[in-house]
């Protein structure tokens, strides 16, 4: 499966050996080939510069200014580190948003991965109609971060929504989940967890790659199901787990659409769904503090980079790229 080879940078196929002699070709040839390379790259390169790199650098500059969207660029004032100072010392709602986002990511991401892995294990068997189930479980992910889905969610978890009707069948009086500051964020977590299809498909692909002889050997050695899972499945799956963990964590931190729709773009009730990105959006576009919002965006970028770096550095201890060729 292509998916499992993707996160495996150490694999050296015959392809790289073949590419080698070409690099030693005559200089002129190399030059024109390089130019052609850039020409072929240009659609991507122009996109990168125009849509990503230049705006990013601009926002870095703006994060040191009092830019408020309405004032022309030429009249923007340089304020040094004032925006960053305000963020760290004088803005309680900023830290509130950080807390909300961390809570969301710390709970939703592991549960989502656990759900994805659990269902992938179940669907890895050769049952009749298992393909249909794979499709069904993947379906919510196709709907992705869509607005329509969030609206459905709000209506399902209202005081008089479908979920409470279901509860009332069992004699339980539900809560106004989405309108209760103690439960609104949890409702968003459930939505995120429910969309476990994408990591599940990747897990499934990973499970298919585990050589059956390892299980045979383990069972010959007397390992039970649980032991096999712990000592064969998990280590063999660790690159895939790592890949999913990194991606889902980044996704988790960036959750925006559902929170925006659920709270009408306010982060309410009482800021309970004020995710980092939503707070950033409100600061920039509603309160017109675009300079400050740019500073928030940069701190966010750095925070995510640090977290990802931590994952990569700890990965050494628990991720096994054991195709037998390396390490």
**Which positions lie near other proteins, rule CB under 8 A?**
68-72, 90, 93, 159, 176, 179-181, 264-266, 268-271, 282, 285-288, 290
Quick one: 264 or 313, whose CB is closer to other proteins?
A: 264
Q: State the minimum distance, in angstroms, from the CB of residue 271 to other proteins.
A: 6
d(CA 314, CA 245): 12
Beta carbons of 179 and 272 less than 8 angstroms apart: no
Torsional sign, CA 245, 246, 249, 254: negative
Q: State the minimum distance, in angstroms, from the CB of residue 72 to other proteins.
A: 8
What is the phi/psi pair of residue 303, to 5°?
Answer: -60, -45
Quick one: 185 or 198, whose CB is closer to other proteins?
A: 185
The DSSP secondary structure of 175-236, one letter per residue, reads --GGG-TTTHHHHHHHHHHHT-HHHHHHHHHHHHHS-HHHHHHHHHTT--HHHHIIIIIHHH
Nearest C-alpha neighbor of 297 from the set 269, 276, 273, 282: 276
Quick one: 110 or 176, whose CB is closer to other proteins?
A: 176
Q: State the minimum distance, in angstroms, from the CB of residue 147 to other proteins.
A: 12
Q: State the minimum distance, in angstroms, from the CB of residue 101 to other proteins.
A: 18
Q: State the minimum distance, in angstroms, from the CB of residue 270 to other proteins.
A: 5
Quick one: 88 or 285, whose CB is closer to other proteins?
A: 285
Please report which helix (H) or strand (E) contains residue 70, including its range.
none
Tokens matching residue 158:
């209202």
d(CA 280, CA 275): 9
Quick one: 159 or 227, whose CB is closer to other proteins?
A: 159
Quick one: 176 or 235, whose CB is closer to other proteins?
A: 176
Strand, coil or helix: 78? strand
Quick one: 40 or 285, whose CB is closer to other proteins?
A: 285
Q: State the minimum distance, in angstroms, from the CB of residue 302 to other proteins.
A: 25
Nearest C-alpha neighbor of 105 from the set 248, 296, 257: 248
Q: State the minimum distance, in angstroms, from the CB of residue 122 to other proteins.
A: 37
d(CA 116, CA 134): 11
d(CA 281, CA 264): 13
């Amino acid at each position: 499966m292509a998916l499992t080879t993707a996160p495996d940078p150490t694999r050296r196929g015959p392809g790289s050996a073949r590419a080698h002699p070409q690099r030693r070709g005559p200089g002129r040839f190399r030059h024109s080939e390089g130019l052609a390379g850039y020409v072929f790259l240009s659609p991507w390169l122009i996109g990168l510069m125009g849509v990503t790199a230049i705006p990013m650098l601009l926002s870095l500059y703006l994060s040191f200014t009092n830019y408020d969207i309405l004032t022309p660029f030429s009249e923007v004032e340089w304020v040094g580190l004032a925006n960053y100072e305000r963020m760290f010392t004088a803005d309680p709602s900023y830290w509130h948003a950080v807390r909300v986002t961390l809570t969301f990511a710390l709970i939703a991401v592991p549960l989502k991965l656990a759900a994805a892995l659990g269902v992938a294990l179940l669907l890895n068997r050769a049952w009749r109609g298992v393909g249909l189930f794979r499709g069904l479980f993947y379906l919510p992910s196709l709907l992705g971060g869509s607005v329509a889905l969030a609206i459905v969610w709000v209506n399902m978890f209202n005081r008089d929504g479908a979920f409470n009707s279901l509860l009332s069948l069992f004699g339980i009086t539900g809560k106004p989940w989405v309108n209760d500051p103690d439960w609104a964020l949890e409702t968003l977590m459930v939505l995120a967890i429910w969309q476990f299809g994408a990591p599940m498909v990747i897990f499934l692909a990973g499970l298919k790659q585990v050589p059956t002889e390892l299980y045979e050997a383990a069972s010959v050695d007397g390992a039970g199901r649980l032991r096999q899972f712990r000592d064969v499945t998990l280590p063999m799956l660790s690159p895939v787990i790592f890949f999913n963990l990194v991606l889902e964590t980044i996704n988790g931190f960036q959750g925006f659409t559902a929170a925006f729709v659920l709270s009408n773009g306010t982060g309410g009730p009482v800021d309970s769904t004020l995710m980092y990105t939503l707070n950033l959006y409100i600061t920039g576009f509603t309160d017109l503090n675009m300079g400050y919002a740019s500073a928030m965006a940069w701190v966010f970028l750095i925070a995510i980079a640090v977290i990802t770096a931590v994952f990569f550095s700890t990965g050494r201890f628990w991720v096994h790229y054991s195709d037998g060729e390396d390490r």
